[in-house]
Amino acid sequence: MMRRGMRAANGRVVAAAAVALAGAGMLAGWWSAQAGEPTGPAPKPARSSAAPVPGRPSSPSTGLPTPKVDTDIAHAAESGGKAVNITIDDGPDPTWTPKILKVLKDNGVKATFCMIGPQAAAHPDLVKQIVADGHRLCDHTVSHNTAMDHRPDDYQKQQILEAAKDIEQASGGVEPMYYRAPGGAFTPYSRQIAAANGMRPLGWNVDSRDFEKPGTDAIVRTVKNELKNGPTLLFHDGGGNRSQTVAALERLVPWLKQQGYGFSFPVQ
């Protein structure tokens, strides 16, 4: 940025000193902060863009692939009204995913499963069961690196697209509809790459904190207290013993129904 000041003195114009940033190839960036993302990264400049995805047209303004879906981080419920979106992260897991699927099926409720690519590849039977039960799929990267926003564009692209491929193959051809950055570590670039491949970036409004295993009562209490924040609820079926999550969902889903909530999917 350059600032110039002009001042008149004795009929002569004196130019103030100019300060300039030096360095060839400096790229301008931007950050679009998303409201309601409780654990998202602090605002920071965007990284330089990597090469467009082959076979897709590029946006003339950014050089990035043209999005198929919105690049804004989704939080709203597709159905609108008084509804919640249950989202389940870090699986599929051979022990806990079937138990969560049973809770959902017993209550006639659908959810969105945000899957780690290698986990999906290792358990294609579970991925297919999730699809058969009417739930939606979400890409949660290959390595679940919560510092992804500090990594180069090529790394972000690889993490997103390889996981999407794993999930699609495991499901028998069903593509993930969403992309959730680990720990909310989105960047403008990662959101653009996901959207160019048909995956809406997906945030959350209510973090159940079940990942910390605080006890079933604490998980239930946290969700009830934070429902005012918005409709998208975050739980986990991977990353360790999820018995507390299962027990919390067994209590929360009927309670939500009693409170007049419907169950939806996130907007795409």
Which of 89, 139, 153, 210 does the annotation list as catalytic? 89
Catalytic site includes residue 236 = yes
Which of 75, 123, 135, 236 does the annotation list as catalytic? 236
Catalytic site includes residue 144 = no
3-state secondary structure the chain: CCCCCEEEECCEEEECCCCCCCCCCCCCCCCCCCCCCCCCCCCCCCCCCCCCCCCCCECCCCCCECCCCCCCCECCECCCCCEEEEEEEEECCCCHHHHHHHHHHHCCCCCEEEECHHHHHHCHHHHHHHHHCCCEEEECCCCCCCCHHHCCHHHHHHHHHHHHHHHHHHHCCCCCCEECCHHHCCCHHHHHHHHHCCCEEECCCEECCHHHCCCHHHHHHHHHHHHHHCCEEEEECCCCCCHHHHHHHHHHHHHHHHCCCEEECECC
The residues that are catalytic are: 89, 236
